[in-house]
Structure 1
Amino acid sequence: MPTRHVSHGPTTLDAVIIGAGVVGAACAYYAGRSGLAVAVVDRGPVAGGTTGAGEGNLLVSDKEAGPELDLALLSTRLWRELAETLPPEAEYEPKGGLVIASDETALTSLRAFARRQRAAGAEAHEIPADGLRDLEPHLAPGLAGGFHYPQDAQLQPARAAAQLLRASGADVRLGAEVTAVLTDPRGAVRGVRTTHGDLHAPAVVNATGTWGGRLAELAGTHLPVRPRRGFVLVTEPLPPRLVRHKVYAADYVTDVASDSAALQSSAVVEGTPAGPVLIGATRERVGFDRTLSTEALRRLATQASALFPVLGGVRAIRAYHGFRPYLPDHLPAIGPDPRVPGLHHACGHEGAGIGLAPATGMLIASALRGDRPALDLRPFRPDRFDPRATPRPTDEPGAAR
């Protein structure tokens, strides 16, 4: 176990949030709006990790009915509210999503998936084969059909994170690495030690993304966050509305839910206001290996061209990749860690962190204040992977509804 530094210094903050990505920024925003004094610490720049390497997906369409879909639906509403205050540079686009079935088997699976989602509150509309081109004129012929999800949206994640931080009123400290979590003799959190000095607070929020497991270790506990690498292709600028929605093949949903460590790819195609088309998405667990995978890029190009033949003659001008913070059950860790009083987690969102950031931030702010949360936090309990963990008496069914 790492050395823990006991501190008896003055407390001038209500919480220290570690991580200046979009999740940490949302935690700071909602905590600040609720009257809490917070500092945000990051060893790098704003959005220097997973957020800066994201496509900006705000998706309902890929979430199975259950806790993550509930989180996504709440975030969808919150992003719409936030969009009214975000600058145009954030590029918020409520463009909707279109999930494509290549054959009748895939379409039957999509129908069952959408039926469960609608029962949970999502909007999903079946589009017959002869109606697909009304939504996307450049789609390939011969597709079986699909589902339109009007709640799906997109934004520029790094700019959104920066704006949320500016609006939070937080004391933002960049280029400061956290080297220890400060605790009192009883083991309760009392702040953090950074390369630029100590920050004292009765609460610490772990919003470090793929490094969430390492931060948990610094606090003397365990959270099995692992990186899952993904690549994105970027085309040359193309005419506006060549691709009108966020369009992806039905097998993307399966890839998101998979536990496989091997390379998986399924085309996700979307235009941007600036003209380039973004093509994702791949997934593989290779640690923090940053080696360029030509096989991953080849698959993306081939699958995107199969969906949109017009892209076959388009140049890809660059590619980028990032690491998604993966937890074994594909749900994030959100809320207080009962093993370390004062420690809160807001990480492990995998590829959905940008979309789920506002709801996560609101739930963390409620936990910091001791208020009733907007959603049941039990599915996101940080200690759920600990075989010794037992539900707390306050976690009564329906208590947070």
Structure 2
Amino acid sequence: GSIEKLVVPGGCVYAQSYILCTGVFTSSLLAPLGLELPLRPRRGQLVVTEPAPPLIQHIFLCARYIAAKYHPELLASAEDDALRLGVGLALEQTAAGTLLVGSTREFVDWDTSTTLEGIRTVLRHGARILPVLDKLHIIRTFAGLRPYTPDGLPYLGRLPGVDNLYIAAGHEGDGIALAPITGKLMAELITSGTTSIPLSEFAPDRFHQGKKQGGKPVISL
């Protein structure tokens, strides 16, 4: 089958090909088509400090930030709060001088609230690397949802059973950094059917084959 149209508020959009770059909402958009995709929301809590003099010139990432992404099973039963919450340091200073300090990796369904435990743990972990964090005022906290996949790799490619439907989702926190190469590869795939980098590791059907409903599918947003 193939997608006939995209239904949006106020009308419909018609195209030869459609691509879902819809992050954590991808699975809910595929469900009406009878397609299942292992993808879950995973919360990240972050802290923003008051402006400070120049302290760091680069982004700081600790290995645990990456380990928490690819091996959440190692954290689930941890007694240490930082491990249990999937806290791995991600620290950078903006042009305005504020410090962005993150973050947790938590499976809490669709909850985008921040928690005192999460924020305290993030700051405590960050202060081990940058002690001045203990002396800065916090001006904001926020949380967002990352699209988690079971193997930590995004879905890039055509959806099985639907000739003109593609997906680029599941980057879990790396989407902004990988957006340029993702866009390039998806453009190559849609326009020529081949890509400059093999996409087999990122195949949308690598976990299981989705089931397709009959008729002309319609995506509603």
Q: Displacement, 1:319? A: 0.6
- The CA distance in 1 between the partners of 2:201 and 2:121, in whole Å, is 35
- Could you tell me which residue of structure 2 aligns to residue 303 of structure 1? 125
What residue identity is the alignment partner of 2:120?
A: R
Q: Displacement, 1:346? A: 0.6
Task: Tell me whether 1:198 sits opposite 2:18 in the alignment.
Answer: no
Q: 1:221 touches 1:340 (CA, 8 Å); kept in 2?
A: no
Match for 2:63 among 250, 261, 264?
Answer: 250
Q: 2:114 touches 2:141 (CA, 8 Å); kept in 1?
A: no
Match for 1:209 among 16, 20, 23?
Answer: 23
Task: Tell me whether 1:319 sits opposite 2:149 in the alignment.
Answer: no
- The CA distance in 2 between the partners of 1:271 and 1:215, in whole Å, is 36
Write out per-residue CA displacement over residues 160-212 of structure 1, whole angstroms, 9 at most, x where no aligned residue: xxxxxxxxxxxxxxxxxxxxxxxxxxx21222122211111121111111001
| Aligned-partner SS, 1:188 | coil
Q: Displacement, 1:363? A: 1.1
Q: Displacement, 1:251? A: 2.0
Q: TM-score, normalised by structure 2?
A: 0.86
| Aligned-partner SS, 1:282 | coil
Q: Displacement, 1:267? A: 1.9
Q: 2:91 touches 2:102 (CA, 8 Å); kept in 1?
A: yes
Larger Rg: 1
- Could you tell me which residue of structure 1 aligns to residue 51 of structure 2? 237
| Aligned-partner SS, 1:213 | helix
**Relative contact order (C-alpha < 8 Å, sep 6+): which is higher?**
2
- Cα 1:387–1:259 change in 2 (3 A) is farther
- The CA distance in 2 between the partners of 1:201 and 1:333, in whole Å, is 21
Match for 1:351 among 154, 173, 188?
Answer: 173
Task: Tell me whether 1:188 sits opposite 2:10 in the alignment.
Answer: no
- The CA distance in 2 between the partners of 1:202 and 1:219, in whole Å, is 18
| Aligned-partner SS, 1:273 | coil
Where has structure 1 moved over 4 Å in runs of 4 or more?
A: none
Q: How many residues align?
A: 202
| Structure 2: runs of 5+ lacking an equivalent | 77-83, 212-221
Task: Tell me whether 1:288 sits opposite 2:93 in the alignment.
Answer: no
- The CA distance in 2 between the partners of 1:388 and 1:271, in whole Å, is 43
What residue identity is the alignment partner of 1:343?
A: L
- Could you tell me which residue of structure 1 aligns to residue 93 of structure 2? 271
What residue identity is the alignment partner of 1:205?
A: I
Give the superposed CA RMSD.
1.7
Q: Displacement, 1:271? A: 0.8
- Could you tell me which residue of structure 1 aligns to residue 79 of structure 2? none
Match for 2:205 among 357, 372, 383?
Answer: 383
What residue identity is the alignment partner of 2:65?
A: Y
- The CA distance in 1 between the partners of 2:188 and 2:40, in whole Å, is 27
Q: Displacement, 1:371? A: 4.2
Q: Displacement, 1:387? A: 5.2
Q: Displacement, 1:376? A: 0.3
Q: 2:37 touches 2:210 (CA, 8 Å); kept in 1?
A: no
Q: 2:154 touches 2:171 (CA, 8 Å); kept in 1?
A: yes
- Cα 1:388–1:292 change in 2 (3 A) is closer
Q: TM-score, normalised by structure 1?
A: 0.48
| Aligned-partner SS, 2:28 | helix
- Could you tell me which residue of structure 2 aligns to residue 52 of structure 1? none
- The CA distance in 2 between the partners of 1:222 and 1:377, in whole Å, is 20
Q: 1:366 touches 1:373 (CA, 8 Å); kept in 2?
A: yes
Task: Tell me whether 1:329 sits opposite 2:151 in the alignment.
Answer: yes
- Could you tell me which residue of structure 1 aligns to residue 215 of structure 2? none
- Could you tell me which residue of structure 1 aligns to residue 216 of structure 2? none
